[in-house]
Amino acid sequence: MNNKKKNVRLLAFLLFFLALIISITIVLIQLSRRVKMNADTVTGNTTGNLNNDGLFCEYDEILYFANGYDNNSLYYYNANNGSCKKMADGPVSSINVDNNYIYFIRETSSSKGTFGMSSANFVGIYRMDKKGKHKVRLHNGPVGLAHLINNTIYYQNYSNSYGLHLFSVGIDGREDTEILKEAVLPTGYYNGSLLYANVKINHFVSTLDDVTKKKDTLYEGDCYFPTMEDNCLYYMDISNNYCLKKYNLETQEEIILTTERLDSFNIYGDTIFFQVSDEKNPCLKRMKSDGTNMEVVQNGIFHQISMTKNYTYFTAYNSDTPIYRTPTTGVIDVNTFTEALNAID
């Protein structure tokens, strides 16, 4: 009888212990999957990079990029140890990164995606950790440019009925809502408000308070792909042959940096790269943010200008390869991003 009681007690203890282990495991799994929110002001990528399709994003000396040698799949590159590896199938764009996660748009492609399914089934905005795991779709459907600001991703939502409207979704996937019934380009963060440019009614640059939803016009210019850097707006002036202008918000001074017609540009710190649109002599150029030290980087037509601290990347128009790069500052030395090519399995 005593042995039976002991066995019953032992069995009960073992069941209790097993239940405790299972409960702890469930809690740990839930905690590991809980979305880590940003406590400080965060912008997921530079506006200039996102205006150039957001194919490159640098964070903590790690380069996250769409590898044109592999259908623009998501890769990372660590220049310190030479590691370059694939993280997710492509094509991807609008890459944004914060301290915990990588965010990107998965685009439509005719190729087959994961498990042999059409990749169209995976179109939308995604979040995953920096190990390439726990990939979650935050929004399902065709998306234009997407920009992470703090704990919100602002994005252009496409619909056949109204075209592009501005939407936002939390990094936890909640509150996927329409913000503006207008075709606008989210271009950054300014004095606690979303900065955006209207691309249909006019081309003014405005702000939107995230709490009150109040809209204010910041600058009444004919702005194409405006970019804010150190309280200055840089933009291509549509009404003035798409020349590059700089407007100082503090002094209200406006200057023309170059009278040449541009196709695109990007800015990082005090360095600007820009593509000159010229039928006879098209070329990629570089200059300082005050318009000085202008020099030719490479002759030809290029696009997808992506800038990081050490290198600026670009490709020939209508082509994803080869991926060219040159030092962002210092002596121009154009070569190819061989690490991206060599990383292909």
In one-letter notation, the amino acid at residue 43 is T
Judge whether 10 lies within some domain: no
Mean pLDDT of 44-57: 97
Mean pLDDT of 312-325: 97
% pLDDT > 90, the chain:
76
Judge whether 4 lies within some domain: no
Residues 45, 56: Cα–Cα separation, whole Å: 9
Judge whether 19 lies within some domain: no
Residues 182, 167: Cα–Cα separation, whole Å: 10
> What is the helix (H) or strand (E) element at residue 144, kind and residue range?
strand 143-149
Per-residue pLDDT at 222 exceeds 80:
yes
Concatenated DSSP letters for 41-90? --BSS-HHHHHTTT-EEEETTEEEEEEGGGTTEEEEEETTTTEEEEEE-S
Number of domains present in the structure of the chain: 2
Higher-confidence position of 232 and 160: 232
- How is residue 239 annotated by DSSP? G
Residues 87, 329: Cα–Cα separation, whole Å: 29
Judge whether 323 lies within some domain: yes
Q: Give residue 118's domain range.
A: 37-149
pTM of the model: 0.87
Judge whether 55 lies within some domain: yes
Judge whether 262 lies within some domain: no
Q: Are 197 and 212 in contact (CB under 8 A)?
A: no
Sheet containing 335-336: give its strands across: 302-307, 311-316, 324-327, 335-336
> What is the helix (H) or strand (E) element at residue 110, kind and residue range?
none
Judge whether 316 lies within some domain: yes
Under the banding of pLDDT at 50, 70 and 90, the label for residue 177 is: very high
Cβ atoms within 10 Å, residue 236: 24
Under the banding of pLDDT at 50, 70 and 90, the label for residue 303 is: very high
Strand partners of residue 219: 205
Reference 229, options 272, 184, 197; nearest CA is: 272
Judge whether 173 lies within some domain: no
Mean pLDDT of 208-218: 88
Per-residue pLDDT at 121 exceeds 60:
no
Q: What is the pLDDT of residue 12?
A: 57
Mean pLDDT of 219-241: 96
Out of 100, 125, 149, pick the residue that ends a domain.
149
Per-residue pLDDT at 226 exceeds 50:
yes
Task: Say which range, 23-37, 78-92, 279-293, 307-321, has the weakest mean pLDDT.
Answer: 23-37
Which residues fall within 8 angstroms of residue 284, CB to CB, at 6 or more apart? 273, 274, 275, 276, 296, 297, 298, 300, 302, 305, 314
Under the banding of pLDDT at 50, 70 and 90, the label for residue 110 is: very low
% pLDDT > 70, the chain:
86
Q: What is the pLDDT of residue 253?
A: 96
